[in-house]
Chains A and B, each alone.
Chain A
Amino acid sequence: MGCFQSKVTRQYPGHEDPIVLASQTAFSVSEVEALFELFKSISSSVIDDGLINKEEFQLALFKNRKKENIFANRIFDLFDAKKKGVIDFGDFVRALNVFHPNVSQDDKIDFAFRLYDMDGTGFIERNEVKQMLIALLCESEVKLADETIEAILDKTFLEADMNQDGKIDISEWKHFVSRNPSLLKIMTLPYLRDITTTFPSFIFHSEVDEIAT
């Protein structure tokens, strides 16, 4: 395992042993290996450096490397756990893990909170929600009057902001989600169940080759 592992780590900085990643996530070893196949193809699509940069992420998500989207940016920022501006394989597996159907609701609730807490203050402020709402309307080319937008925000904060301080903290968020479970819909990817059929792993073969040479 030693020779193969060090070669892979040189080519893929941040690559971790699939057995370790499988033990820390809801994925099996072969699912982690399948994710590595996916990771290899995304991370080499613009710059072949074994890391996923923002353009490569945009290319994979939208099939358009130049397409910017504030929500995709938030997802990218959360995947980039070490704040290096790039996503390594360990980051990739750990972040996708949160979207696995078998992972706890608590993990998904926390991730969604951090997603919407755009400036990372530990609170989802009203102006952040307004900014995101306007961005979505713009994305869908829907025009709403400012009063309508304010009315939607008023209603949301009336329900979610229990102490009425103009911002939603994590415990208010948990209560809000328990009453509106559809808010977590975005936090589960059914595709993660079929990953080994979508991306067959060839690592086993290459590991055998490495040992032979």
Chain B
Amino acid sequence: MAKLTNLNAFDIISLSSGFDLSGLFVENDEKKEVQFTSTHTFSSITSKLGDIAQNLKLKVKKQGGLMKMEGTSGGRKGALAIDAEIFEFTPSFHLVELRKSSGDTLEFQKTLKQDVRPALKDIVWAWQGQPHQQS
């Protein structure tokens, strides 16, 4: 899977939550995407995401810099599908964006909270908007 390296300065700058105006329209727990930073390597991150997809019975498809995880069973608004995009600052510092690509936003948020976040605990440096927790 190709990762997004060679980010120019503006690619990096545009990752700021200060540019994310979705907060004007929805509460944090209604958002369609979340970001986290990680000090792990690219392969460690993709491997962990692959494990999570497997546990959630999501089919994984890699499309350039995107890891698409697609459910097959219908939810309230069709099957849940999540995209993961990995941005490299350095080989040992990455930013990962998890986005709902289809399905119900509430289901996405619930899946994040119950399944994804706990499983990512070991590799997450900090979730967007929250300080790094000293463990």
User: Which A residues form the contact surface with B (CB < 8 A)?
Assistant: 38, 42, 60-63, 69-75, 96, 99, 116, 129, 132-133, 135-137, 139-142, 144, 148, 152-153, 155-156, 159-160, 180, 182-183, 185-186, 189, 191, 195, 198
- Cα separation A182 to B8 with both chains bound (whole Å): 11
Quick check: is B95 within 8 A (CB to CB) of the other chain?
yes
Do residues B131 and A141 form an inter-chain contact, with CB atoms below 8 A?
yes
Interface segment, B23-31, B47-55, B66-74, B106-114?
Answer: B23-31
Do residues B23 and A61 form an inter-chain contact, with CB atoms below 8 A?
yes
Q: Mark B21-44, 1 if CB is under 8 A from A, else 0.
A: 111111110000000010000000
Between A and B, 13 residue pairs with Cβ closer than 8 Å are A61-B23, A70-B18, A75-B18, A129-B10, A132-B13, A139-B17, A141-B37, A144-B89, A155-B8, A156-B9, A191-B22, A191-B26, A198-B25
Considering the complex, give the chain B residue whose CB is closest to the CB of A189. Answer: B21
CB-CB under 8 A for A140 and B126, given A60-B23, A75-B21, A148-B90: yes
Contact of A72 among B9, B18, B93, B129 (CB under 8 A): B18
| Chain B residues with CB under 8 A of A153 | 9
CB-CB under 8 A for A71 and B18, given A42-B24, A148-B90, A198-B25: yes
Number of interface residues of B (CB under 8 A): 34
Considering the complex, give the chain B residue whose CB is closest to the CB of A139. Answer: B16
Do residues A69 and B8 form an inter-chain contact, with CB atoms below 8 A?
no
Do residues A69 and B24 form an inter-chain contact, with CB atoms below 8 A?
no
- Cα separation A116 to B14 with both chains bound (whole Å): 10
Tell me what chain B mostly uses at the interface: helix, strand, loop, or mixed.
mixed
CB distance from B52 to the nearest CB of A (A): 22
- Cα separation A99 to B19 with both chains bound (whole Å): 11
Quick check: is B1 within 8 A (CB to CB) of the other chain?
no
CB distance from B135 to the nearest CB of A (A): 14
Contact of B13 among A61, A99, A133, A144 (CB under 8 A): A133
Do residues A71 and B16 form an inter-chain contact, with CB atoms below 8 A?
yes
Do residues B37 and A136 form an inter-chain contact, with CB atoms below 8 A?
no
Do residues B9 and A133 form an inter-chain contact, with CB atoms below 8 A?
yes
Q: Mark B92-135, 1 if CB is under 8 A from A, else 0.
A: 01010000000000000000000000000000011011011000
| Chain A residues with CB under 8 A of B2 | none
- Cα separation A200 to B24 with both chains bound (whole Å): 15
